[in-house]
């Protein structure tokens, strides 16, 4: 039985409610397995350079920010604009605000968004929680798990499989699958997130 077949069997046993898909080769990867789960999938990718990546997501950061920008009325302003120049100006301003928010999130600059009752406050808190989840899981499992923020955000962990035999590769992969799966479950726990926010003196509220 190949490494991929063994991993598929282990994953099927672990994620009984999930669907295990082999996505196969590409120009940069040897193989890729997707574990299809509710809300966030888990992906295991073996690259041709020996790197193996396990990740889960996506948290659709761009969509969340655009939801907030809709609340601010950019769509209404765009529709009300009389000229092409006015429309282009409003669209540029919206794109710039989107870029600025994502950059703030990437830099961990959440404070300016926490005091508002708007949905951006909730989204900022979720991303703060993602960073905290990655820290906790990394500490518990003794590996580096990252919460990477971009237009789509998610949890990532990688290792170099160069020189490993099949058993070592499988064991290291499953160790990190367990960590990523735990990060996924923790991130989806509204109760744990709210407890974390309260411990930091941050007001707990839902998205508008």
Poorest-pLDDT segment among 10-19, 178-187, 197-206? 197-206
For the chain, what is the mean pLDDT? 94
**How far is it, in rounded angstroms, from Cα 174 to Cα 95?**
40
The answer, yes or no, to whether residue 1 has pLDDT greater than 90, is no
**How far is it, in rounded angstroms, from Cα 25 to Cα 177?**
20
pLDDT of residue 207: 45
pLDDT of residue 27: 86
User: pLDDT for 28-59, tens place per residue?
Assistant: 999 999 999 998 999 999 999 999 999 999 99
**Could you tell me which residues are beta bridge partners of residue 19?**
36
Give the mean pLDDT of 130-153: 97
Task: Evaluate whether 122 touches 208 at the Cβ level (below 8 Å).
Answer: yes
Vertex 164 angle, CA 27 and 48, to 5°: 5
Of 80-89, 107-116, 132-141, where does the model show the most confidence? 132-141
Q: Going by C-beta distance under 8 Å and a sequence separation of 6 or more, which residues neighbour residue 66?
A: 98
Task: Evaluate whether 61 touches 127 at the Cβ level (below 8 Å).
Answer: yes
* Nearest residue to 148 (alpha-carbon basis) of 160, 134, 169: 134
Number of domains in the chain: 1
DSSP structural state of residue 108: T
Structural domain boundaries enclosing 191: 1-208
Residues of the chain above pLDDT 70, percent: 98
Confirm whether pTM is higher than 0.95: no
**Could you tell me which residues are beta bridge partners of residue 44?**
33, 54
* Nearest residue to 191 (alpha-carbon basis) of 129, 127, 120: 129
pLDDT of residue 208: 42
* Nearest residue to 154 (alpha-carbon basis) of 41, 52, 65, 58: 58
**How far is it, in rounded angstroms, from Cα 156 to Cα 86?**
41
């Amino acid at each position: 039985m190949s490494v991929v077949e063994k991993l598929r069997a282990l994953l099927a046993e672990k994620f009984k409610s999930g669907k295990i898909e082999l996505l196969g080769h590409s120009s940069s990867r040897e193989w890729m397995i997707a574990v299809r789960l509710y809300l966030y999938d888990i992906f295991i990718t073996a690259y041709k350079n020996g790197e193996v990546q396990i990740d889960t997501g996506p948290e659709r950061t761009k969509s969340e920010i655009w939801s907030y920008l809709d609340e601010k009325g950019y769509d209404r302003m765009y529709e009300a604009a009389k000229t092409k120049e006015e429309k282009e100006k409003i669209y540029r301003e919206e794109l710039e605000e989107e870029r600025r928010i994502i950059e703030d999130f990437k830099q961990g600059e959440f404070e300016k968004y926490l005091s508002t009752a708007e949905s951006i406050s909730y989204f900022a808190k979720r991303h703060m929680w993602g960073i905290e989840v990655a820290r906790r899981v990394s500490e518990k499992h003794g590996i580096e798990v990252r919460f990477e923020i971009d237009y789509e955000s998610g949890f990532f962990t990688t290792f170099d499989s160069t020189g490993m035999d099949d058993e070592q590769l499988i064991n290291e992969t499953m160790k990190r699958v367990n960590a990523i799966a735990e990060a996924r479950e923790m991130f989806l726990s509204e109760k744990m997130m709210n407890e974390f926010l309260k411990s930091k003196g941050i007001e707990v509220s839902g998205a508008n």
